[in-house]
Structure formats: C-alpha cells, structure tokens
Structure 1
Amino acid sequence: MTILSAQDLVLPAASLGAENPLPPLRSQQELHQVQNLAELPAELRENIQYGRLHSPLPTLNQDGYDRELVDRTFPALVLENDHVRATVLPGVGGRLYSLVHKASGEELLYRNPVFQPANLALRNAWWAGGVEWNVGSTGHWTGTCEPLHAARVEGPDGTPVLRLWELERTRNLVTQLDFWLPADSEFLYVGIRLQNPSDAEVPAYWWSNIAVEQSADTRVLVPADQAWRFGYASADRPDATGRWLDLVGVPEFEGIDLTYPMRHPRAVDFFFEPLAGERPWIASVDADGHGFVQASTERLQGRKLFVWGEGTGGQRWQEWLSPGLQGHGYAEIQAGLARTQLEHLKLPAATSWHWLEAYGRLSVDPGVAHSEWEAARTGTSEVLRPLLDQLGDREREWLTIADAAPAERLAVGSGWGALELARTGWTVSAGTPFAEDTMASRERAWLPLLDGRLPASDAVPDGTLVSWKELLEKAEDNWLVWYHLGVARHYSGDVEGAIDAWLQAGDNPWALRNLGFVTGELSYYERAVGLLPDLVELLVEAVAVALAVDVNRAGRLLDKAPDDPRIRLLRIRHALQSGDPQTARDLLADGIQLPTVREGANPLADLWVETEEALGTNRPVPSQYQFGMGGS
C-alpha cells in the first residue's frame, strides 16, 4: 500500500531573509566560463555558446539570509510504501530531502541536518543535500528556494502520485515533477516534463542534482570510459587561472582513480561521456557494495560527479553548507539533458520533453564494485538490468496520467504562471494548472499593464517582467514605467535605450542606482545613497565603485554605513587602499563571517594575504577564511 501524507519537518535553519530589491543586471555565472572553447568539438562548443542567461531576471537575488540557526518548520509531503519512504519539501524548490530504504534502515541520500543558504545559485541562495531539480540555465535554478505548487493525482496503478509544478520564470517553461511509488516497488519514480507553451524556441536545461554521503571507500559507478573534466589547474594545465574543459580517461586521472570521490585534492567536475548502447544510470556504493542508484529513460543522457575535494577550501565549504558536519560530507552525482552542465539544448516552440527517473538502493558484490573499471561498470549494469529493462514500460504507464487534473491541492506555489497566461493566452496541460486564485498582490500589481498602465507608488519596485517589454513601451508614462522599461531594454541589449529610460525616471533612487551600475559613474550612486541611506545592498555597490574611483569618497560613504559583514569587508579594502594595513589587520582579527561568500571566490583569504604583505609579515590564512577551491 502506498500512502501520501502531509507532515511537518523541523530543522535548525537560517532565515532566508528578504530579496535584494536591486535588479540583477548581470548573471552570476562567471564560475562556469570555459577558457578553451576553441579546442572543443563543434557541437559541444555550439551548445555552450547557445542560450546563456544575461541575468536571472525577472527574479530578484536572494542574498538576505544569515547564519543564525533556529528551529523552523518546513511543510513536507511524504510518499511511502512497505519498502521506501520519500520526503519532499514543496516550499524550497520541491527538494527530495530524504529517501529511506526501510528494510535496511538506510538513508540513501545525504540528508543535511540543517537549512543553511549560501551563495552558489543563480539568485545567490542555495542549500546542500537531497535531490535538487535544476531547470532553466547553467547553475542552481532560480526556484531552488521558492515554493512550488503541489497536488495529489491518482496514479496509473491506483496509488497516489505527488505532483509538483511551477513556471520557470527565466525561460517561461512549465516544469512538472510526478513522484510515483507503486505499492510493490523498491524504487521511487519521478516523471519529469518540460512544457514550452510559447511560439518560440527556448534554450532548455535540466540537471537532477543528487547529494550522497561519502567515505574513504565510496566509489561512483557509471557506464562511461571517458569524462569531460571541468576545473581549475591540473597536471596538464598547472598554471591555469580559469576553468578548462578537458576530455580525460576513466578511471585513471592524475595518478588516482577518479571514481573514488575522497581521493581528489581539489574541487572538480567530471561529465561522463555516455557509452554507445548503454542505458543511462549512475550509482554510489560503499566498501560493501551497498548504496544508491539513479537511472532514467533515454532522454536524460548526461551524468556527472562533483567533489569538493579534500583540501582546506573544500573542507571549509562542506562545513559552511552543513554547520556541525558529521562524517566525511557528501559528493554529488547528477543527471542531465546534455553531456555537460555548460550546454543548453533547443526546445522547439509548443513542444514538451519528458523522461522518467528511478531512485533507489543498489547492492553489488563488493568484489565487482571495487574491481578494475570495465568489470565494475559492466557487472553493475548486469545487476541493474531488471530495473533498466522495465523503465520504458514504467514511463509509458506514467504518461497515461501526466495530463490528469490534480485531485487535491496540497501546496500553493507562485501566481506568476497565472499572470503569464493572462498576458499570453498560452495553452498548458490540464495537469499543471495555474489558477487565477494563486495570484497574490505581487502578481496582481502587474495586471493593469495589460490595459496600458502601471500605477506608480512609493513602494519598492519589483523584479521587472522583462518579457513584458512591448507592453512597457506602450504604457502611460510615469517613473515606475520608465524604471521597468529601462531594465527591460537593458536585458534585451539596448544599453543606450536603458540609460535614456532611467534618465526619464527623474531623481529616483532605483533608476539612479541602475545608471551608476551601467555607467560606472559614482555620482549616480552617491545621489541614490542620499535618497536610500539605509539600504545595505545599495551601499555595498556604491562603496565598491567608489574604491575604484576615489578612496576618499569611499570613506565618506563608509562613515555612515551600518555594521554588516559586507560593509566590514569593504572597510578592510578601504584601509588597505588608504595605506592603513594595521586597521585592516585589526578588522580581520576581530573575525568576519561573510554569509554571502561566493562559490569560487576567496575574498577573506585574499585580503588576509594582502594585509600581511603590506605589513611585511607572513601569518598563514586562518582556516575559517579559506574558501579557495582551486588548490590543495
């Protein structure tokens, strides 16, 4: 018997905080830039160059979180039978938080004991653990900390199916996940569908990101003999300053067996090249051959291993994402539409793509699992043959109910889907409805624009609906219309038109900030700060610009700035640029915990080294400041 129930999950959790009201006028995808595009095969190169986001708009950045853990309640939806219990969190991106194999009592995923956002996603905030669903563009998706719609649907075998769905706002793709656990099954099935309801081709991207516990004996198994390594310096590129994509053999790499996650000294990605004739799967097993497997139907061909590495920076990141980390942390095994996460594929207009994934426990003879590579992967494929042989039939069964209307609403996501349908009249599946009653005040504020007006108020402007640019161009003008029109023009590449629109908005702090951001002129920022002196996010940007232009003007901005970790970082930079390294040392000695330190960046360590050099000393960087991912 399969049961679907609503429960509460209580976790020590940091506050997610408020969104950053300043529009993200550029992407945070710098970490994923490929330095050696010219060396790559044509198809791979073209897929990497196609479809990159300029910005996560219309969504705003989520960087208001902290690091104070208090008990908080997360609504959970639990699907279980006699063999498996799956816990899904609809309020934070539909994360598959836990998957327990009842007979063995094993948790098959890395279940993070806390909710601690950190700066790794397209919108900044991301948290580790479980299975995350990434749709839209390279990186952790814009909905990873957002609520999804959830409902019960009757499954093809009469058991309840848990359906999640939402509009992915950067691509306007309807994203559907159906969690199906047949009564006699030891595997959880997840049917996934991406609907492009528009009349235009859109870039498509999907990766299921699975966190699994690791130990010294953990091995990752996958049907591949080659992989695209994406990382920093390597033996072949010892002086690399960026990230490079190189085809390497599996399993031997730089003197280690790359399929053992804890043998890597540094953070690295491996995107496995699928072997012709092999069906797609990836597994992680322990010394005894027990562990986890993910398999799918053919559309989901890509498979990946990511490790943080055993260096100081990698260990620091694991602790940062899981305060009070127990054991050896986690590795990520992933499954995607393309061969690498750097690519986007072309999803035609008015077209849907679908596939079925299976998640469950795997047991392989340890003598096979840890044998030489070909024997290990082929032996594991044999063990998985019963699962792989029936996935196609399971997918066809699931598709019989993929369009079934929800029987019972279990959670409510956003109203953005309903708003877009009001604008476009698109047709979407009855299985993923966007009811008008899901629109809250935030979405309803845009409805007047359908009639050519957008009333201005003193309220903070929301994230600009960049796909509504034509409506903004025709709307009755006021400062709010000019502000949003400038953002929409900038998003479309019309920088001069954006500047003109923001100038038309008058002495408005939001438009002034955008002018400062785009032109680099400090005076715009200074005027904006004068109008919004308490907005920390604005001060941070303004001081950063000032430090590049005039250290004295930066000092005047800092004189009135509040105490915030981001501001303290800038005070250190100001002290160094002002020729006062002792003040910089004192500030660093006080201890700074920067919640929003970005993956791939190491600002506190860099400032520590610069301060020591300025003082003529050479104290080592404290471990709590070391977030570097490129070295050992």
Structure 2
Amino acid sequence: MMERVLRGRISSPLPYGVLSDYDRADHTVQLPAIELANGQARALVLPSLGGRLWSLIDEASGRELVHRNPRLRWANFGLTDAWFAGGIEWNLGSTGHSTTSNLPVHAAVLDTPLGPVVRLWEWERTRDLVLQVDLWLSDARLMASTRVLNPDPEPKPLYYWTNIAVPETRGTRVLVPADTAWRTDYAGVLERVSVPFPDGEVDVSVPSASRYAADYFYEVGDQHGRLVAAVEPDGRGIAQTSTAALRGRKLFLWGNGPGGRRWQDWLGITGTRYLEIQAGVCPTQLEHDLLEGYASRTWTEAFAPLELDPSVVAADYGVAAQAARDAVHAATPPAWLAAQHDRWLHEVADLGPGELVHTGSGWGRVELALRGAPQLPGTPFPEVADESLPLLRFVETDDPTALDDIDPQRPTLPVVSDRWVARLSDAVERGAGWWARYALGTARHLRGDLDGAQAAYGRSAELQPTAMTLRGEALLAGDATTRDELYRRACALAPDDRRLAVERLVALLDAGRSEDVVAAVAGLPEAVREHGRTRMVLAEAMAALGQDAAALEVLERLEVPDLAEGDRTLAELWQRLCPGKPVPRPLDFRMSPGPGSDQT
C-alpha cells in the first residue's frame, strides 16, 4: 500500500489548463446528450462534459437511481479546478476529479452483439493513456465496460475511480460487505477504523448521522463479486458491482455539520442532498497502481436497481450488508458478469466506432502522430480544429515554423512530456520561435530545472513578449519587488486575465504588502475587480491592515464562485474579524473541525 501511495503524484495538471471562469448565475443552456433506452432502463450521457452519465432511470418504478442535479454548479473540486456534482463520472489520471471532467470526449453509437453501445473515448494527457468506456443496457442494468490502454513502452501510474452520486435522505444507508475501512478526512488524517461504528455510537452506514465530511475506503480484500449499494428505508436503491479489476469500494459523505450542508446547497440548490459510492482500481484514492508498457487494464461494471426487505435494511449492519450482497449476486451473478466482460472484450471492444456523434479533442491524433503510431481500431482519433492543430501540423511536416501560427494572445498551453521536450528541443535548434521556447521553459520549470526555465522564458520573451512568459519569470523571481514588477508587466499584456491578476495579488499578500494589494485592486478592470476571488483577497489585505470594518463589509456580501474544496479562508477571516461570534452560514464551508472552530 505504501509503495502505491508514494507512486504517481503529479504537481500540476499540465498540459491541461485551469478552468475557473464560471459564475453562479442561472443560465438556460443546451447540451448535447445521448440516450440509451430498452423499456426497462433509460440512461442519459453528456459527451461535452467528460461523458458524465447524468441520469439513470428504472422504468419499472420510474425512479431516478442517481443524483440528477437540478443545476450545473461548478466549484474548485477538480484537478483543473472546475467540477460539478451529479450522475456517474469516470475518473482517470491522478488523485482527484479527472482533468477531462469538463471537456468534450469522442462518442459514437455502435450496433454490437450486445445491442446498442455508446462508446466514449479520449486521450488523457497527464499520463498519456487512452480511456474507453462502452455503455449498454442489459435488462434493468446499465453496463459499463472500460479499457485503459498504455500506448507507450514505459510503465505508467494508473489511477481510476468510478464516482456514483446518489440521492441522500435522512435514512439512506450504504452497504458494503466489510467490517473495516481506511478513513480520510479534511484534517489530513488516514486511519484504519471499524465500520459501521468508527467513533462510538455514530453509524456511518447512515451518512446523515455523521458530523463531518469523510471518505471510507472499505477493506474488501479479494472478495468475489465486490459491490457497494445505497438503499432507502423502503428497501429501494442502487447497487454497483464489477469484475475483479476494480478492487476498491468507497463511501464519501458530506456529514450534517454546517460546512457539509453549505457545500451541498452550493453545488446544487438549497435542500438537495447526495452522497457518493465509488469503485476503483486500488484500495484507496491515495494510491496509484502500475500499468506496464503497451498493456491495458479492463473491467466491466453493472449499475442496477436494488430492492431489499425494509426490515433487513434496518437490521444489524452485517445482516443488511449480507442481504445486499445476496440480492446483487442473485440479480447479477459474478460468473455472468465475468462472461459478459469476456464477450465485450472479444466481440465489441475493438469494433470500429463508425461515424462519431460527438467529437472530443484533437490531442489523441497529435500524440499518435508524435509517436508515428497507427490509429487504434476501437478508439480512432480524428483531426480536430482546436488548439492542437498547430502541433499536429508541426509533427506531420516537421516544420518548426508551424508553431509560429499559435496566437500569442491565446497561446496553446505547453506540452510537457519527455517526448515533447525532446521534439521541441530539436525544433528550437532548427529555428522554432517563441512558443517552443515558452513550452520548454514550462517543462523545465515543472522538472525543477530553474536555470533552464529562466533561460527559455527569457529568450521567448525577447522573440515575442507574452503575459505567460513574464508570469513564468515572476514565479522564478528571487525577491518580491522583482516578482511584482514581472507580474505587473504580465497583467498589462493581459489586463482581463482574472487568474493572473489574482495570482499577483496573492503574491503581494504573501510578501506582506497589503497596502499594495488594496491599490492594485483599485486599478483592475471592473469585471476582474468585482469577482469574488479578487474581493476575498482584498478583504484579507484590509484585515491585515487593521481595516476591520472595511474588510467585514466586503466579507458580508462576498460570493466566491471558484471556492476550493476544503477552503477555510472565509470562516477563519470571519473569526479574526468577529471573535467569539458564530460564523454566518453563507461563509461556513468548513468540512472538518479546526482550531477555533465553533462547530459543535
């Protein structure tokens, strides 16, 4: 376990960028959707949002089996910031919500021996792995067969979890045949606990009984037909089971404390409640397995309605969990599921998808071209007219000047893998311009080669001054004065870049230059100045200057759209300004107790 915990951590989501320019206004939007229906179940997939399974209806009862959020509400919960709650998501990459959760994926509908199959696929760029998820219906079950392919000779860390959001009521019970779990919480503690009573009389199998948010990774060992289920007091619910490659099972609960309730309202609408049941390739989400070179890992999951006797649901946990296991295995026998997986793998997985019904990114095509590799039969990657196109032209023609077509006002984010570093280094030797040097600077910066990064950033700025190269130099600056001058120049080139402006403000605040923060905020464009994140930094600066009344005025009407998971800033700032007074509910996002907490 420790070997897996120490493997595979990433320090940056690059080459993906941060997605944080969302707001909390209500807008009517139209989204492409793909529906599967067979008279017993109906499923809805959102291919423009990572292929999220947004709805799963049991036709016999008319029940929605997953949490279908009434609103798309984003917050900073993902590896690239933006994340939204609801449905079933497919998380490949590294610990956290996937880099692709808000990006389009390729999708097609196939006619197969298993019936209609919705195929979703994309190239995950932090690991250079190919994710394929095939969805189909079997009676009342939604089936999901997944393949993760390593197209390269070197072994790579493998992280994958399926997250299933389900409605939570006061009586919802989560059942897994296990009596111990690894628990993590927002205080940073990992501990092995008994379930369902880790702390005295509180039964965590009823998530609403818990006070604070926590993850419970059940120790299911080598159980045959591993499963997790969520059921209501009337015995109805949903169960997930899978073939053996998905080893882990997890419960995430928000708890009934002020912070958990506030987050649930923030991520949906007031009064909506949900929890997550999950399954992954490792026992916990702190771990990364190893996927060997040119290897693939496959599994099949079944998501199905579950109905138990209400008296059993209310029984002793061990009795209830065993009843859930018996019911799931009767409806979806492990041997049957394994046979379905084998049939999918040999008869469906490599079928060509034919015409796409939705297009993802062009990066899969670029990466295959970089390797000189042929298309993959089941997951071909088309050319796409997105930010990847100049890189595709560069690789196809081996012409370094093709990179000069990249717009310096909206540059393609740097590619940072070892393959790209080698290719771009060669291109620079043959005359590639500002972008290749900017990309090399970023890649070296990421690897800790600070002198090399500084040299590349500097040469890029000489050829084409851009906000991003100046920002890179600011991050490397050894003193606060030089750093702020570089940030100031970067912001002058990109005055409407809110994230860049906030990064400058935070650097000033960290340097103890709170007066400069107040002055800098006053000079920002209105849209940047009035954003909640900017206002939060302003309130912190005012508090540091002893301007408590002004800071409190900002704080009392503050809404920060991109507030981060686990962020305690608002509550702690209130406690500094109003010691002894309860934190107002709109500001209380604390998901664990902490120093000075007034949560009881």
TM-score surpassing 0.5? yes
Corresponding residue for 2:532?
565
Distance in 2 of aligned mates of 1:626 and 1:170: 34
Corresponding residue for 1:175?
131
Question: Please, which runs of 5 or more residues in structure 2 have no aligned partner?
Answer: 594-598
Deviation digits for residues 478-516 of structure 1 (CA, Å, limit 9, x no counterpart): 322221110111223322211221122235432111121
Q: Give the TM-score taking structure 2 as reference length.
A: 0.92
State which of 539, 550, 554 in structure 2 corresponds to 1:583: 550
8 A contact 1:82–1:102 mirrored in 2: yes
State which of 485, 509, 512 in structure 1 corresponds to 2:467: 509
Give the partner amino acid of 1:161.
V
8 A contact 1:268–1:308 mirrored in 2: yes
Secondary structure at the aligned position of 2:388 is classed as helix
State which of 36, 47, 60 in structure 2 corresponds to 1:79: 36
Give the partner amino acid of 1:162.
V
Quote how far apart the aligned CAs of 1:318 are: 0.1
Quote how far apart the aligned CAs of 1:525 are: 1.3
Q: How does 1:375-386 map to 2 (within 5 A)?
A: 375-386=319-330
Please say if 1:166 is aligned against 2:122.
yes
Secondary structure at the aligned position of 2:33 is classed as strand
Quote how far apart the aligned CAs of 1:369 are: 2.7
Quote how far apart the aligned CAs of 1:373 are: 2.4
Corresponding residue for 1:147?
104
Corresponding residue for 2:140?
186
8 A contact 2:517–2:538 mirrored in 1: no
Name whichever of 489-498 and 277-286 sits farther off: 489-498
State which of 358, 362, 376 in structure 2 corresponds to 1:415: 362
Distance in 2 of aligned mates of 1:73 and 1:228: 41
Give the partner amino acid of 2:493.
L
Distance in 1 of aligned mates of 2:354 and 2:371: 26
Q: Identity of counterpart residues, as a percentage? A: 39
Corresponding residue for 2:241?
295
Distance in 1 of aligned mates of 2:592 and 2:8: 27
Please say if 1:281 is aligned against 2:227.
yes
Name whichever of 162-171 and 406-415 sits farther off: 406-415
Name whichever of 242-251 and 49-58 sits farther off: 242-251
Secondary structure at the aligned position of 1:466 is classed as coil
Quote how far apart the aligned CAs of 1:579 are: 2.3
Corresponding residue for 2:596?
none
8 A contact 2:75–2:562 mirrored in 1: yes
Taking only aligned residues, the RMSD between alpha carbons, in angstroms, comes to 1.6
Secondary structure at the aligned position of 1:619 is classed as coil
8 A contact 2:388–2:412 mirrored in 1: no
Secondary structure at the aligned position of 1:71 is classed as coil
8 A contact 1:301–1:337 mirrored in 2: yes
8 A contact 1:155–1:398 mirrored in 2: no
Quote how far apart the aligned CAs of 1:275 are: 4.1
Distance in 1 of aligned mates of 2:226 and 2:108: 29
Question: Please, which runs of 5 or more residues in structure 1 have no aligned partner?
Answer: 1-43, 233-241
Distance in 1 of aligned mates of 2:458 and 2:103: 34
State which of 252, 263, 270 in structure 1 corresponds to 2:197: 252
Distance in 1 of aligned mates of 2:113 and 2:446: 44
Q: Give the TM-score taking structure 1 as reference length.
A: 0.87
Give the partner amino acid of 1:258.
V
Quote how far apart the aligned CAs of 1:407 are: 3.3
Distance in 2 of aligned mates of 1:79 and 1:54: 38
Distance in 2 of aligned mates of 1:624 and 1:404: 51
Quote how far apart the aligned CAs of 1:288 are: 1.8
Relative to structure 1, is the Cα distance of residues 493 and 187 closer, same or farther in structure 2, using a 3 angstrom cutoff?
A: same
8 A contact 2:409–2:466 mirrored in 1: no
Secondary structure at the aligned position of 1:541 is classed as helix
Please say if 1:445 is aligned against 2:390.
yes
State which of 546, 549, 567 in structure 2 corresponds to 1:601: 567
Relative to structure 1, is the Cα distance of residues 570 and 176 closer, same or farther in structure 2, using a 3 angstrom cutoff?
A: same
8 A contact 2:408–2:466 mirrored in 1: no
Corresponding residue for 2:178?
224
8 A contact 1:306–1:332 mirrored in 2: yes
8 A contact 1:368–1:380 mirrored in 2: no
Distance in 2 of aligned mates of 1:457 and 1:67: 30
Deviation digits for residues 97-117 of structure 1 (CA, Å, limit 9, x no counterpart): 111111111111111011111
Deviation digits for residues 231-259 of structure 1 (CA, Å, limit 9, x no counterpart): 14xxxxxxxxx411111112212121111
Q: How does 1:605-624 map to 2 (within 5 A)?
A: 605-613=571-579, 618-624=580-586
Corresponding residue for 2:212?
266
Distance in 1 of aligned mates of 2:369 and 2:355: 24
Distance in 1 of aligned mates of 2:220 and 2:455: 50
Q: How does 1:458-477 map to 2 (within 5 A)?
A: 458-467=408-417, 468-475=420-427, 476-477=431-432
State which of 376, 385, 388 in structure 1 corresponds to 2:333: 388
Quote how far apart the aligned CAs of 1:559 are: 2.4
Secondary structure at the aligned position of 1:362 is classed as strand
Quote how far apart the aligned CAs of 1:627 are: 0.4
8 A contact 2:239–2:328 mirrored in 1: no
State which of 519, 531, 548 in structure 2 corresponds to 1:556: 519
8 A contact 1:289–1:366 mirrored in 2: yes
Quote how far apart the aligned CAs of 1:477 are: 4.2
Give the partner amino acid of 1:470.
A
Relative to structure 1, is the Cα distance of residues 316 and 470 closer, same or farther in structure 2, using a 3 angstrom cutoff?
A: same
Quote how far apart the aligned CAs of 1:181 are: 1.2
Relative to structure 1, is the Cα distance of residues 275 and 343 closer, same or farther in structure 2, using a 3 angstrom cutoff?
A: closer
8 A contact 1:270–1:304 mirrored in 2: yes
Quote how far apart the aligned CAs of 1:380 are: 2.1
Secondary structure at the aligned position of 2:157 is classed as strand
Relative to structure 1, is the Cα distance of residues 221 and 528 closer, same or farther in structure 2, using a 3 angstrom cutoff?
A: same
8 A contact 1:163–1:179 mirrored in 2: yes
Corresponding residue for 1:347?
291
8 A contact 1:160–1:180 mirrored in 2: yes
Give the partner amino acid of 1:254.
D
Quote how far apart the aligned CAs of 1:393 are: 1.0
Deviation digits for residues 391-447 of structure 1 (CA, Å, limit 9, x no counterpart): 0111112111110001332111111111111111234531111123xx214111223
Give the partner amino acid of 2:449.
D
8 A contact 2:361–2:386 mirrored in 1: no
Distance in 1 of aligned mates of 2:407 and 2:60: 59
Distance in 2 of aligned mates of 1:196 and 1:79: 29
Name whichever of 535-544 and 355-364 sits farther off: 535-544
Q: How many aligned residue pairs are there?
A: 568
Deviation digits for residues 44-103 of structure 1 (CA, Å, limit 9, x no counterpart): 111111001121111100000000111111111110112101111111011111111111
Relative to structure 1, is the Cα distance of residues 103 and 448 closer, same or farther in structure 2, using a 3 angstrom cutoff?
A: closer
Give the partner amino acid of 1:565.
G
Distance in 1 of aligned mates of 2:390 and 2:123: 18
Corresponding residue for 1:527?
489
Deviation digits for residues 102-150 of structure 1 (CA, Å, limit 9, x no counterpart): 1111111111011111110000000001101100000000110111111
8 A contact 2:540–2:573 mirrored in 1: yes
Distance in 2 of aligned mates of 1:276 and 1:98: 31
Secondary structure at the aligned position of 1:397 is classed as helix
Name whichever of 254-263 and 269-278 sits farther off: 269-278
